Chain A
Amino acid sequence: MTEAHVSCDVLVVGGGPAGLTAAQVACESGAKTILLDDNPAFGGQIWRGAKHFRFDNKVLDLISDQTAAQLGTTDEPARLRKMPGWRVVAAPRPGVATAESLSETNSIHFQKLILATGARERFLPFPGWTLPNVMGAGGLQAMVKSGLPIAGKRVVIAGTGPLLLAVAEYLKQCRADVRLIAEQASGSSLFRFGLSLTSHPAKLFQAAMLKARLLTVPYLTDCWVTRAEGKDTLERVCLRQESKSWQLECDYLATGFHLIPNTELAELMGCAIENGCVKVDEDQQTSVPNVYCAGEPTGIGGVEKSVVEGRIAGLAAAGLAQEARKYHAVWRHCARFAGRLNETFRLREELKALSTDETFVCRCEDVTLAQLRECSTWRAAKLHRRCGMGPCQGRICGPAVEFLFGWKPESVRPPVFPARVESLTQADVEEKSS
């Protein structure tokens, strides 16, 4: 173990579209910048597996090779230090973040912090959802991008949101046998959404729908998986559309119910949260001075919104808030699209009735629906049943429980991820030295 501390003007947490843009803009504006990401390579979920990031006619290297990345390649300014495979586990005092990699712990001292922690898929429980080979839609895509062969495998894609289409297109390209896309949203709401799409970000969605059709994958609306079955691994799924129900044999079920903002780190920093999203002002600054937030954590809106927010946050953090205002019109446009998107893919009530008494809702601690029914609050569920107390810290079951019972998860405490004892000791030393 090595203990170290590094310092920078701007620390960017998260290397997806928002974080990459923010880091690039901040260091171009003269700020000494550190960009870190939990994953072994940059790009976030959407650009996972990409080798380069193109931005304003410049090219950044996204490959994880640490030494090459840190030295800076292609057009990359030396002021940018990239730390792939690192995650922030604690924030011992203002201006300091404790980060760890697989083998090291570091205290990162910063003037400004930009949180670009992205989003995760929302999962909803149904009988059989814990079977191996039932994965997230983005989850299966990530596995394929990181080496899982999918050619010829039978895949059912189910849940809600535009991600289902993007995943279908990608898996088809990889020659998977995509048997069905089951979208729970109603055909009429999708039709209205389609009519409202008149310009850029929206056009991308239309293109995705069109491609899915061209790829000849059946796309059913008002349709969802009622259960997954198999002995020790997935063998088939049961589906429903209106009064019709049927079974489909498959090797993988890729299921996700739109996205949930990753707000845990912002909450740990004390940032105000509003309607499940990090509250920001027009410079993307949170309620905590010098802490900015960009992309999905401020509201699910897709890659265009993330990029423009990353740009605004990067400029503002580098002291160029005036320059950032040029991008407000683009931002408003993206935000309007986001609003319509989230309305269209709202979850239907019937999904609350899928789980039976025996269905595990909390997968870490194997807490069943029947056990949760005996509780009246999230706190009671935690204390009596250890719901949300396992390694994922409620990241998977929290949004499901909120949908099923309406309980809001409680405050976030460090470490935000299971961390090594050395990291906690170092965070403690930092806290005491304040």
Chain B
Amino acid sequence: MPMPETVSLRINGKELSVAPGTTVAAAILIAGHSAFRRSVAGTPRGPLCGMGICFECRVTVNGEPHARSCQIECMPGMEVRTGD
């Protein structure tokens, strides 16, 4: 089966096309957001471990909060929200 050339999703309401297999974390960085969320003390945070252990890259995916964006591949029509 031929792979689609790009996958379109929305990050904070803005449309973005990425290569298939791109993780949500990489897509968020491509969209220009380096701060994915705020820590309990309010400091900006982004991905650290890249392998699903540190939980620093968590964002809201399709309404589901606390999703580890480095462990999820972009899917067509996905709605991603950062900054929660």
Contacting residues of chain B (3-60) with chain A, CB-CB under 8 angstroms: 18-19, 21-23, 25-27, 29-30, 34-36, 39-41, 43-56, 58
CB distance from B17 to the nearest CB of A (A): 12
Is A308 engaged at the interface, CB distance under 8 Å to the other chain? no
| Residues of chain A contacted by B22 (CB below 8 angstroms) | 146-147
Select which of A132, A136, A140 is within 8 A of B34 by beta carbon: A132
Is A232 on the interface with B (CB-CB < 8 A)? yes
User: A241 at the A/B interface (Cβ < 8 Å)?
Assistant: no
A366 contacts across to B, CB distance below 8 A: 39-41, 43
With A148-B26, A363-B56 already in contact, the answer to whether A135 and B47 are too (CB < 8 A) is yes
Q: Count chain A residues whose beta carbon lies closer than 8 angstroms to a beta carbon of B.
A: 41
Contact of B73 (CB < 8 Å), options: A40, A121, A134, A142: A40
**Number of residues from B at the complex interface, CB < 8 A:** 36
Whole-angstrom distance between the alpha carbons of A280 and B22 in the complex?
38
A148 to B43 CA separation, bound complex (whole angstroms) = 23
Q: Does A141 contact B (CB under 8 A)?
A: yes
The CA of A366 and the CA of B37, in the complex, are separated in Å by 14
A293 within 8 A of B: no
- Which of A142, A366, A418 counts the most B-chain CB atoms under 10 A from its CB? A142
Q: Does B80 sit at the interface, judged by CB under 8 A?
A: no
Near A by CB (< 8 A), chain B positions 62-78 give 66, 70-73
Residue in contact with B48 in the complex, picked from A232, A396, A418, CB distance below 8 Å: A396
A102 at the interface (CB under 8 A from B): yes
Once A and B bind, how many residue pairs between them come within 8 Å at the CB atom?
Answer: 120
B35 touching A233 by the CB < 8 A rule?
yes
CB atoms of A364 and B50 under 8 A apart: no
A133 to B48, CA, bound (A): 8
Chain A nearest Cβ from B60, distance in angstroms: 14
Contact indicator B44/A232 (Cβ below 8 Å): yes
| Bound-state Cα–Cα, A390 to B54, Å | 10
Main secondary structure of the interface of A (DSSP, over half): loop
Q: Are A140 and B50 in contact (CB under 8 A)?
A: yes
Q: Which residues of A contact B58 (CB under 8 A)?
A: 391
Contact string against B for A residues 106-149, beta-carbon threshold 8 Å, 1 for contact and 0 otherwise: 00000000000000110100000011111110111111001111
B26, B40, B66: the one within 8 Å of A143 (CB): B26
A392 an interface residue at 8 Å Cβ cutoff? yes
CA A426 – CA B47 in complex, angstroms? 31
**A148 pairs with B29, CB closer than 8 A:** yes
Contact residues in A for B43 (Cβ distance below 8 Å): 130, 360, 366
- The CA of A48 and the CA of B73, in the complex, are separated in Å by 14
- B18: A residues at CB distance < 8 A: 147
State whether B27 touches A147 (Cβ < 8 A): yes
CA distance A40 to B20 in the complex (A): 13
**Cross-chain contact of B51 among A132, A133, A142, A390 (Cβ < 8 A):** A142
B19, B41, B48: the one contacting A139 at CB < 8 Å is B48
Q: Given that A40-B73, A147-B19, A147-B23 are contacting pairs, would A132 and B30 also be in contact in the complex, using a CB cutoff of 8 Å?
A: no
Known: A146-B70, A233-B35, A363-B54. A123 touches B48 (CB 8 A): yes
- Tell me, in angstroms, the Cα distance from A11 to B17 when the chains sit together: 38
Contact status B51-A120, CB under 8 Å: yes
- Give Cα A149–Cα B34 distance, bound, in whole angstroms: 14
Q: List 16 A-B contacts (CB under 8 A).
A: A85-B71, A130-B39, A130-B43, A136-B49, A138-B51, A142-B49, A143-B26, A147-B26, A147-B27, A233-B35, A233-B46, A360-B43, A363-B56, A365-B40, A366-B39, A395-B54
CB-based closest 8 A-B pairs: A147-B22, A132-B46, A142-B50, A139-B50, A147-B26, A391-B55, A132-B34, A366-B41
Given contacts A139-B51, A363-B48, 6 further A-B contacts (CB under 8 A): A133-B34, A134-B48, A147-B21, A148-B30, A232-B44, A360-B41
